[in-house]
Structures are given as C-alpha cells and as structure tokens.
Chains A and B, each alone.
Chain A
Amino acid sequence: MPDAAFDIAHLLAGSLVLVSFMLIYQGRIHALLNVFALQALLLALAVAWQAHMRGAHHLYASAAIALVFKAMIVPWALHRMVRVLGIHREVETVVGVVPTMLAGMALVALSILLMLQLTRGAGNPLSREDLAFALSVILLGMLMMVTRRNAVSQIVGFMSLENGLILAAAGAQGMPFVVEISVAFSVLIAMIVIGVFLFRIRERFDTVDTGAIEQFRGEKRA
C-alpha cells in the first residue's frame, strides 16, 4: 500500500489540514487572504491528483474551478474589499491563538477517529483518508468562523469550510458535474451577497466587527 501515488495524495491532503491551521495562526488580514489562496491552490492540486490517479476526467474540471474561482477571484475580491473598507490590518480574535489551536487539534483528532471508525470496511484507503481530512478542514473552518470577530475573516473561514466539502466530494468518487458547477456558483453568489452585506453593515455601524452588532441587538451583556 505505501506507494508513491498514495504518498503524494496523503501529502496534499495533509497539507490542506496544515494550511487550515495556518489560517487560524495568521494574525494579519492580507496574509490571511494569501494563505487562503494557497489552500485553494493545494485543493486544486489534490483534486487534480485524484483525477490523474483514477483517470476520472471530470475531476480535472473541479480542479480548474477551484483554481480559478477560489485561488484567484475570491482572494482578489477579498483583498479589494479589505482595501475599500479600510479594515484594520490585524485579525481580531475572540480567544487567543494557542487555545484556538488546541481546540483545532482536538477537532482534527475527533474527525480522524470518527471517520476511520465510520468508514471501516469501506475498501478504498484513499477515500477514507480524504474523508477524514475533509471533515477536519470543515471543522477547522467552522472553528475559524466562531473565533473571529471580523466579518472578513469569518468569510475566509466559510470559504475554507467549503474547500473541505470539495475535498470530501473528490474523495467520494467525485460528485456529479452539475452539482459541482452549481456549488461553485452558489459559493460565488454567497460571496457577492456577503460582500454587499459587509458594505451595508459598515454603513450602518461604522465597523465590520460583529461584536458591535451584537451590542446593538442587546445580546451582549457588557
């Protein structure tokens, strides 16, 4: 089983998880967006490698979509948004980096244990591994959305969660192409809608810190 093809797939999927941690670790918003672009690039490589290994040509299209939309258009749009909105260059977190990382490690361990148990007996080791890593990426994306106060970095969390979904889909023998296209476009639409919302939020509250909105709704105790 330990052949080079499997090792490369392992390398790419493992790097995706690692980059998810880099997203959590990163303290500056422009660097955060660059790391996000790197994650999308790695995702494209991982999916393309799956396509090559299995001879599944429709997966090349998924890789291309990931490359164009998520590694180029989305980071570019977010960079522009950060500039136009004039957001602080530093990412504001709810809790410190180290506790977040530890929570992230626990989530990765949880998803690996869970997925390996659930898929026991399902033949293809590569799919099982991809599912475990994909669940880790999804959970880490959620963790990032929870622990960030700035709306832009919450978007990055959401997008990286979606990267995990694509990895899972590519691992599970690929999803139908129509679904793939529609997911990609709906993410793009979501991105546009969120962008419009960001501008509206800033107009009304003079900030994109979601803490301020909570205070406005009377949810914050302070």
Chain B
Amino acid sequence: MELIRDLALQAAQMVLFLALAPGLVGLVRKVKARLNRRRGAPVIQPYRDLARLMRKEVVLADNASWLFRVSPYLIFAATWVAAALVPSFATGLHFSWTADLIAIVALLASARFFLALAGMDAGTAFGGIGASREMMIGALAEPAMLLTVFSVALVAGTTQLSDVVAFMASGGVGIRVSLGMALVALLIVALAENARIPVDNPATHLELTMVHEAMVLEYSGRHLAMIELAAAMKLMLYIALVGCVFLPWGIAPAGAGAGALMTGLVLFLAKLAAGGVLLGLFETSIAKMRVFRVPDFLGAALMLGLLGTLLLFVSRSL
C-alpha cells in the first residue's frame, strides 16, 4: 500500500512536469507579448504547436546518421528523469534517494552533449556554430552550477536534494550571505542554460544571435516536438529548483497527508507562475549580449559560486 502511494506520488510529479512545461513557456511568451503591447498567442499555443509537430512528417537530411534520429529521445528522457528528481510539491518522493544534485547536473549535461552532437551531425554550418557556442556556454555554466551546488550542500550537509529541501524548509538556516550569492549564481546559470535573453534569444532565427535554435534547425516533426518539450521541461526544472531550494515554503514533507500535498501543489503552481512572469519581465527589460561578453556574464556566476563556497569554509572553520 505504502509502495503504491509512493509510486503514485512520483508518477504525479512526472506527469505534472510533462503537462505543465509547455504551459509555462506559453505563459512567458504571453507576458513578454503583453509587455510589448502585443496581444500575443494564447497560453495554450505551445500545446497546439506540439500536437501539430507530432502529426507532421519527419524530414531527415541525407547524410544524417542514426545519432541524429535517437538524440531527441535521449535528450527528452534525460531531461524528464532529471525533472522527476527535483522536488516540486513534496519532498521524500519515491525516487528521491537518487535525487542527488550532482546527478541532476550530470543528466542535464548529458542531454546537452547529445544535443550538441546532433547539431553537428547533419553537417550544416548553423548546427556547428550553435553546437560550438553551446559548449562554450556549457563549459562556463556547469562549473558555476557545481559551485552553487557545493555551497548549498555545505550549508545543508548533504547533496541529496530532498534532504537539502527539508533542511531549508526547517528554518534552521539563519542569514547566510553565501546562500544569497548561490541564488544569484543559480539564476545566471538558469538564464544561460535555458537560452534566455541576455545569453541567447529563444524567439529568433537570426543567425548572429542564436545558439539553441541553431542546433535544432535541422529537426522537424516529432523529433522537434521532443526537443521543444525537453527544453520547456528544463525551464520548469530550473524554476522548480530555485523554488524548492531557496523558497521552500509550503512544500509537503515526506509522508504528508492529502491536505499538505494539496497546499504544496497550489504553492508550487503559484511559484511557477511567479517565476514565469518574472522571467518575462526580466527578458523584456534587458538586451541580448554579444556572444563574446557571455563569458564575462557567466564568469560572474562562477565567481559568486566560488566566493560563496569560500565564505562558507571561513565560517565553518572558525
């Protein structure tokens, strides 16, 4: 009975991510459109796009290898598994013993690896340029992400995400300058990883600016649908990660009753909506950076993560 309940909760978490991720993307687009005084597509437009893409025929390049065909599924699977490990409405889910922060970073990194490979596979110039830029961003964003993970783990005493969240929610944290730095670093990494505006523009096919869109340019049909859905889930994963580590209020503890679960769910939806609106606001108010300035931007995140970790070492060794 206990096992069935645990599995049901875990399944609910996975379905939640799958079901809400396109809606989140739609919300961000809607907010941006409204801020530009456009009416914008309805929030459910990404669902329609995905449904259309699933029905469409797949066009493959003549010289594309098997890698090009399997990559969308690998990317989707890795991202979905990573999303299943981030506590959204409840901690202590069935898979939470595997929910190590470093494992989540590794899953996302392997998705990025396959995406970059697939981008180069078709042999077009766009795919290559997108892949090389993506790897440049990744080479800077991943260390910054890991340093953030370290400073959070030093505070909580574990890298097990579920335990970290439980510790953060317990209120025994106090005022920590390192956590503030880790939050800013994580936000910068999230913007870069999700190809949002100061680093990349998700709404353009202009050759000079695009990174993510350049890599997926050759994809069509259900392959493109898989990749788009994975990208949407990645965005939701990062918002859920920021929400569960830095704003853990209302998240249901392990073994909680139905009431606590409902509260957790409602609060999670509120956090998600707030995250989407804030992202739209931020993207509207800032200009895209030149590609060669991106290392400076991500370098700041790296520096913040490193500084936060160093400060924690100081306060622990006293």
Contact = CB atoms under 8 A, between A and B. Distances in A.
Interface of A: 1-2, 4, 7-8, 10-11, 14-15, 17-18, 21, 25, 97-98, 101, 104-105, 108-109, 112, 116, 125, 128-129, 132-133
Given A1-B318, A98-B295, A101-B299, A112 B313 contact: yes
Contacts of B313: 112
B318 A125 contact: yes
A112 B175 contact: no
Nearest to B299: A98
A98 B261 CA distance: 45
A167 to B, nearest CB: 14
B303 A105 contact: yes
B165 interface: no
Given A8-B175, A21-B307, A97 B314 contact: no
Contacts of A133: 314
B307 A108 contact: yes
A97 B176 CA distance: 27
A133 B315 CA distance: 11
Contacts of B307: 14, 17-18, 21, 105, 108
Contacts of A4: 174-175
A14 B177 contact: yes
B194 interface: no
Interface residues of B, number: 21
B303 A21 contact: yes
Contacts of B176: 7, 10-11
Q: Is the interface of A mostly helix, strand, loop or mixed?
A: helix
25 contacts: A1-B318, A7-B176, A10-B175, A10-B176, A11-B175, A11-B177, A14-B311, A15-B177, A17-B311, A18-B177, A21-B303, A25-B300, A97-B299, A98-B296, A105-B306, A105-B307, A105-B310, A109-B310, A112-B310, A116-B318, A125-B318, A128-B318, A129-B314, A129-B315, A132-B314
Nearest to A1: B318
Q: Is the interface of B mostly helix, strand, loop or mixed?
A: helix
A100 to B, nearest CB: 10
Contacts of B317: 116
Given A4-B175, A11-B175, A129 B310 contact: no
B306 A10 contact: no
Contacts of B175: 4, 7-8, 10-11
A163 to B, nearest CB: 17
Nearest to B298: A98
A97 B293 CA distance: 10
B178 interface: yes
Contact of A112 (B181, B300, B304, B314): B314
Contacts of B295: 98
Interface in B131-175: 174-175
Q: Which 6 A-B pairs rank lowest in CB-CB distance, beginning with the nearest?
A: A125-B318, A14-B177, A7-B175, A11-B177, A98-B299, A14-B311
Nearest to A101: B303
A133 to B, nearest CB: 8
Most buried by A among B178, B295, B318: B318
A199 B128 CA distance: 53
B249 to A, nearest CB: 20
A4 B174 CA distance: 7
Nearest to B313: A112
